[in-house]
Amino acid sequence: MKVAGQHYRTIYPVQDGAAVEVIDQTRLPHEFATVRLSRLDDAVRAIADMIVRGAPLIGATGAYGMALALRADATTAALEEARRRLVAARPTAVNLRWAVDEVLSAVAPLPVAERAAAAFQCAAELCDEDVASCASIGEYGKQILGELAKQHPGRPINVLTHCNAGWLATVDYGTALAPIYKAHDAGIAVHVWVDETRPRNQGASLTAWELGQHGVPHTAIADNAGGHLMQHGRVDVCIVGSDRTTARGDVCNKVGTYLKALAAHDCGVPFYAALTGPTIDWEIDDGLAQIPIEERGADEVRWVRGRTAQGAVVSVDILPASSQAANPAFDVTPARLVTGLITERGVCPATAEGLRRLYPEK
Amino acid sequence: MKVAGQHYRTIYPVQDGAAVEVIDQTRLPHEFATVRLSRLDDAVRAIADMIVRGAPLIGATGAYGMALALRADATTAALEEARRRLVAARPTAVNLRWAVDEVLSAVAPLPVAERAAAAFQCAAELCDEDVASCASIGEYGKQILGELAKQHPGRPINVLTHCNAGWLATVDYGTALAPIYKAHDAGIAVHVWVDETRPRNQGASLTAWELGQHGVPHTAIADNAGGHLMQHGRVDVCIVGSDRTTARGDVCNKVGTYLKALAAHDCGVPFYAALTGPTIDWEIDDGLAQIPIEERGADEVRWVRGRTAQGAVVSVDILPASSQAANPAFDVTPARLVTGLITERGVCPATAEGLRRLYPEK
């Protein structure tokens, strides 16, 4: 994807692999800046502080984090410690655990001296695979949008999305937004309702920004508005990402996703989750009972970052001084509310059978 | 209710009835200030700019707005013009139309010279009636909370509310919050989950503030979080207000209410709307088809007001400069999702029969 005309991935090696750079997503949409990650600590901080976010990009950062750790100390003890610290940085992210373990199993059999280089190689391959997977999701999802366009000729297809499952959440293309980019590029008229996605406003600050960079028509809305729009036929389809999907198709995603799925179900609007294979947690079925939900700090609810009329980027406190806040970061959408899962291998129903048909090796 | 220990209503006459004062709700929770309304224009602006908001308080302000207009010009032409301008200030508010028409029909038969004084008298009576109605809603709703407290001994009852239907939305007590205040004062332990209620953050800025002033335990949450909390049994009951209720019990309320009602229904959590009789629009049944939803300005989505760490109250822009925003202000919750309506005459099912039993004269 392009930023001001220049092609970027969201994570890429620099200095002959001695470091990697990422886009600082906490500073968008008002500032575009990259951050250099040179050590394990940098990678852990980038994940925990959400300088990088989005399941696939967190995984890629975790993989490079392992490589950066091994460059400093490639002993087996250091390898295990790096794995532990990276996985703990975002406990809900199944991709993170998967990517870190991919690196671990690739390098553990090797002599200590060869491990760092092999880890960088492994991380680079995981990134390339993610790009290919997202491109494939885009092609499959484009077909869904194309079918809707045939049903509603002469007007754009209205897609509602929540949070940011765009190219900023992945290495390139995105998951939920990949079908939108592919459709837009193929000449299918698409308009996106962008949930602002409180408390961190990833929709307002990231999704709106990247859609704007790509020239896709979009309108930001409060998270409260989507139900009303669906009641009045102003949403043709919802597409969201997933941080973790269970073997039977329950979708854990940014908090508030469940509410939109309920409205879509109530209003007869198709509701899709777009995700890559590594996001599927084959070991669990019941997302509501089995997925621990990360509770993040109350300050994310209290403080809102934005730009003043004078151009200064500041945070403002929206709560009375004496009030508390709670901040569950994700929720689980039961599979019964999900029309289908858009994966790099095709679209399937959100069922154990559907997923097994696409991933028979699991 | 009290502000810093002093009793206040949200609207009250001053200067021997030559003007009224209201609390400027756009400046809460960071600043407490009152605004004097001396002319019709002031009342229209207070309603349109949401210096006052909440169906009952809008109605009270509309009634005093008529009185202020008549003080300047009590001719029948001026009377009609005042009615037109006040009703147009917030088209969704059925209380506003009701209150303005109450004043109109009280003063229209009178000689021109007597109209202004009669209008002030009528407005004062409407305010007193609203206070009595809210107190009664509080008593009926307290019984619901008391029953829940018996079912869950030894812990507080968790109530989720959306927007502000508290004393700031009425002349005193509130509608949705009246049961909470009455229960709290009666020694029933209550904890309130306060939806922040984007885009204007009435929950974060008003509900949290007034609960805090009264000492009621509460926790602010992003609007996205309520579904997750209900899925995990952390909400015992939802109570919201209503800007307009149809004859069959459809509830038009702040946008996002529908999403919470869906989650409550899905999770088996009782969902109540609290409202006074004048909020019921007996002329319509199908809220979704028949209630026009006010579209407010995009700037309410774009700009978030709060206090910086240095103490300055400023607004910040959260969107990319090139992005648009849409701002539907209300949605309609179909009666099928509403457990019951809490009114000044008692609690009834959200059905035409239930409402007719409470209001047989309609």
Q: Which residues pair with A271 in a beta bridge?
A: A238
Q: Average pLDDT for residues B56-82, to the nearest whole number?
A: 96
Q: Which chain A residues are closer than 8 Å to B29 by Cβ?
A: 319-320
| Alpha-carbon distances, residue A83 vs A89, A203, A352, B271 (angstroms) | 10, 30, 30, 45
The CA distance from A349 to the nearest CA of chain B, in Å, is 21
Q: Tens digits of per-residue pLDDT, A85-114?
A: 999 999 777 889 999 999 999 999 999 999
Q: Which residues of A are catalytic?
A: 243
For chain A, list residues with pLDDT below 50. Answer: none
CA nearest to B213, candidates A202, A150, A338, A320: A320
Burial of B309 (0-12, 13-18, 19+ CB in 10 A): exposed
Instruction: Report d(CA A133, CA A123) in Å as an integer.
Output: 15
| B318–A306 C-beta distance less than 8 A | yes
| B308–A256 C-beta distance less than 8 A | no
Q: Which chain B residues are closer than 8 Å to A256 by Cβ?
A: 222-225, 227
Query: Which residue intervals of chain A bear CATH 1.20.120.420?
Result: 2-129
Instruction: Report d(CA A259, CA A122) in Å as an integer.
Output: 38
Q: Average pLDDT for residues B309-338, to the nearest whole number?
A: 97
Q: Which chain B residues are closer than 8 Å to A254 by Cβ?
A: 224
Q: Average pLDDT for residues B99-120, to the nearest whole number?
A: 97
% residues pLDDT > 70 (chain B)? 100
The single residue listed with the structure tokens 């998951």 is: A175
Q: Which residues of B are catalytic?
A: 243
Residue-level pLDDT at A16: 79
| Dihedral sign from CA coordinates of B94, B95, B99, B105 | positive
Residue-level pLDDT at A55: 84
Q: Tens digits of per-residue pLDDT, B286-304?
A: 999 999 999 999 999 999 9
| B260–A262 C-beta distance less than 8 A | no
* Residue B294 DSSP code: P
Give φ, ψ of B57 to 5 degrees.
-70, -35
| A258–B260 C-beta distance less than 8 A | no
Which of A219, A260, A301 is closest, CB to CB, to B222?
A301
Q: Which chain B residues are closer than 8 Å to A212 by Cβ?
A: 320, 322-323
Mutate to test the interface with A, among B219, B228, B314 (most CBs of A within 10 A): B228
Is B148's pLDDT higher than 80?
yes
- Pairing, β A34-37 against β A19-23: antiparallel
| Alpha-carbon distances, residue A299 vs A305, B21, B77, B218, B261 (angstroms) | 11, 35, 54, 16, 27
A148: left (phi over 0), alpha (psi -120 to 50) or beta: alpha
Query: Which residue intervals of chain A bear CATH 3.40.50.10470?
Result: 137-358
Q: Is A285 helix (H, G, I), strand (E, B) or coil?
A: coil
Give the pLDDT band (50/70/90) at residue B157. Answer: very high
Torsion of CA A155, A157, A159, A165, to 10 degrees: -120
| B209–A256 C-beta distance less than 8 A | no
Q: Tens digits of per-residue pLDDT, A331-358?
A: 999 999 999 999 999 999 999 999 999 9
% residues pLDDT > 90 (chain B)? 92
Residue-level pLDDT at A15: 83
Is B244's pLDDT higher than 80?
yes
Q: Which chain A residues are closer than 8 Å to B304 by Cβ?
A: 304, 306, 316, 318
Give the pLDDT band (50/70/90) at residue B357. Answer: very high
| B314–A314 C-beta distance less than 8 A | yes
| A231–B332 C-beta distance less than 8 A | yes
Residue-level pLDDT at A168: 96
Mutate to test the interface with A, among B218, B224, B295 (most CBs of A within 10 A): B224
The CA distance from A35 to the nearest CA of chain B, in Å, is 21
CATH class of the B137-358 domain in this structure: alpha beta
Q: What is the mean pLDDT of chain B?
A: 96
Residue-level pLDDT at A54: 87
CATH number for the domain formed by residue range(s) B2-129: 1.20.120.420
Cis ω on the peptide bond leading into residue A91 (within 30° of 0)? no
Residue-level pLDDT at A7: 84
Which of A208, A318, A324 is closest, CB to CB, to B320?
A208
Residue-level pLDDT at A102: 97
Residue-level pLDDT at A327: 98
Residue-level pLDDT at A344: 98
Q: Which chain B residues are closer than 8 Å to A306 by Cβ?
A: 303-304, 316-318
CA nearest to A46, candidates A96, A94, A3, A8: A96
Is B17's pLDDT higher than 80?
no
CA nearest to B166, candidates B182, B187, B146, B150: B182
Instruction: Report d(CA B247, CA B106) in Å as an integer.
Output: 25
CA nearest to A191, candidates A145, A230, A228: A145
Which of A193, A222, A262 is closest, CB to CB, to B263?
A262
| A258–B227 C-beta distance less than 8 A | yes
Question: CA nearest B233 in A: which residue?
Answer: A288
Is B2's pLDDT higher than 90?
no
Residue-level pLDDT at B5: 77
Question: CA nearest B226 in A: which residue?
Answer: A256
Gyration radius from chain B CA atoms: 20
